[in-house]
Amino acid sequence: MSGIAASHLSMCYRVPVREASLRGALGSLWRRRYRQIQAVNDISFSIEPGEVVGFIGPNGAGKTTTLKMLSGILHPSAGTVAVHGFTPWRRESAFLRSIALIRGSQPLGGPTELTVLDSLRFQQTIYDVSAADFRKNLAELTELLDLEQLLARQVRALSLGERMRCGLALSLLYRPRVLFLDEPTLGLDVSAVNMIRRFIASYCRRTGATVLLTSHYMVDVETLCNRIILIDKGTIQYDGGLSELSARLAPSKLLRVSFSDSRDRDWHGYGELVELSESSAVLSVQREQVPGVTARLLAELAVTDLAVEEPPLERVIDQVYREGAL
Ligand SMILES: Nc1ncnc2c1ncn2[C@@H]1O[C@H](COP(=O)(O)OP(=O)(O)OP(=O)(O)O)[C@@H](O)[C@H]1O
C-alpha cells in the first residue's frame, strides 16, 4: 500500500470579481461575476510509507492548496487521493488521528487563554490518547522540544518560535503517521530553526512517519529530504532525487582543495577559480572532468585536504525558478 497516492489532482478556486468603481460594486450585488484560478492542475505522484519528501516551488505554485487537499481541508475539483488508504475529504476519525497538518504561519488552535499544558490535555481528550501514552509522549516531546519552561505559560503569550515548538508538540501528541509540514521554520531564528529540523528528523527516524514538507529554505529540504517534488503554476516540473536535479541542471561541481605550499600557480588549468586564500582554493570544474582534475591536483600539489561538492541547492533552484530550466 502506498503511503500517499495522488492521481490527476486539480483544484480550481472560483473567486468573485470585485469592481473598482461604486457603480460596478453596486451592479455586482445584482449580478455577480466570477473568475477561475487554477491553483493545481492535474498532478499525480506517490509517496512510500516512511518517505520524507520536499514539496517545493515559488510563491503561488500550489503547494499549500495541495497539502490542504491531502489533509482533507479542501475537496479537489478533480482527481483522487489516498493517504494510507483513506480518502482525505471524508475526514474519517481514523484518518484525522493518523495525520497532522502543521503550518508555520498558523496560530495554535484552541483558546489562547489556556496554558500550553492544558492545551496538550485538551488535545489528549480530542484525540483520545491514553493516560500512559500521554505521559510517555509528553515527556519525550518536552525533552526534544525543550518545553519544560513553556508548559505553564498561556498560549497567547508565546513568541513565534515558542508557538511553533508547542504547535509541533500539540500536533504530534497523538503520534500521527503522516505529517504535512507547511513552512515549519518560517520566520524562526537560527537556533529555533536548527531545533525544529533536528526534531523533525528524529521524529521521522523514531516513528517511520511519512512526510511531505514545503519550505522556501533549501537547507530544510537538503537536511531532511532525499527526494523533491517541484511544482510551478500548479503542475509538477520535477519529481526525483536532489542530487539528480543538481546533476541535470548544474554542469559543474565544486572542488575545495587545501594545500601546504603557497607557491603562485595557474589555477585556470584546473578549472574556474571561485575562491582563493593562502592555503586553499575553490574551483568550479565540469562534472566529467572531476576525476582527471582531482588526480592532477593530488599529483601536482602538496594537498592536505580535498572535497568534491555539489553546487548549493539554493542556486540550482533559483535557476529553475528564474529560467524555468527543467
Ligand atoms: N482560498 C483561495 N481562493 C482563491 N485563490 C486562492 C485561494 N488560496 C490560494 N489561491 C490561489 O491559488 C494559487 C496557489 O496558491 P497556494 O497558496 O497553494 O500556493 P503556494 O505554493 O502555497 O504559495 P506560497 O509559497 O506563496 O505559500 C495562487 O494563485 C493563490 O493566489
For the record, the C-alpha cell of 176 comes out as: 500521527
Count of the separate structural domains present in the chain: 2
Contacts of 190 (CB under 8 A, 6+ apart): none
- ipTM value of the model? 0.98
Q: Give the CA angle between residues 312, 317, 318 to the nearest 5°.
A: 95
Domain that holds residue 257: 251-309
Is residue 43 over pLDDT 80? yes
pLDDT band at 161 (very low <50, low <70, confident <90, very high): confident
Give me ligand 1 centre to Cα 151, in Å: 34
Q: Which atom of ligand 1 is nearest to the CA of 11?
A: 12
108 and 217, same domain (yes or no): yes
Q: Which among 228, 265, 255 has a CA at the least distance from the CA of 244?
A: 228
154 and 289, same domain (yes or no): no
Give me ligand 1 centre to Cα 211, in Å: 21
For the record, the C-alpha cell of 277 comes out as: 586564500
153 and 105, same domain (yes or no): yes
Give me ligand 1 centre to Cα 56, in Å: 14
First-residue to last-residue Cα distance in the chain:
31
268 and 179, same domain (yes or no): no
Are 184 and 145 spatial neighbours (Cβ–Cβ below 8 Å)? no
123 and 261, same domain (yes or no): no
- Residue pLDDT, tens place only, 50-65: 999 999 999 999 999 9
Give me ligand 1 centre to Cα 5, in Å: 22
> Rounded mean pLDDT of the chain?
89
150 and 168, same domain (yes or no): yes
pTM for this prediction: 0.83
- Residue pLDDT, tens place only, 109-149: 778 889 999 999 999 999 999 999 999 999 999 988 889 99
Q: What amino acid is encoded at 60 in this protein?
A: G
Give the residue, out of 34, 63, 220, 235, with the most ligand 1 atoms within 8 A of its beta carbon, to mutate for a pocket test.
Answer: 63
- The percent of residues above 90 in pLDDT, for the chain, comes to 56
Q: Flag whether 24 is in a domain.
A: no
268 and 227, same domain (yes or no): no
Q: In this structure, which residue's CA is closest to atom 11 in ligand 1?
A: 39
pLDDT band at 81 (very low <50, low <70, confident <90, very high): very high
- Residue pLDDT, tens place only, 241-286: 988 887 777 788 899 999 987 667 788 889 999 889 888 999 999 9
Q: Flag whether 37 is in a domain.
A: no
97 and 234, same domain (yes or no): yes
Q: Flag whether 104 is in a domain.
A: yes
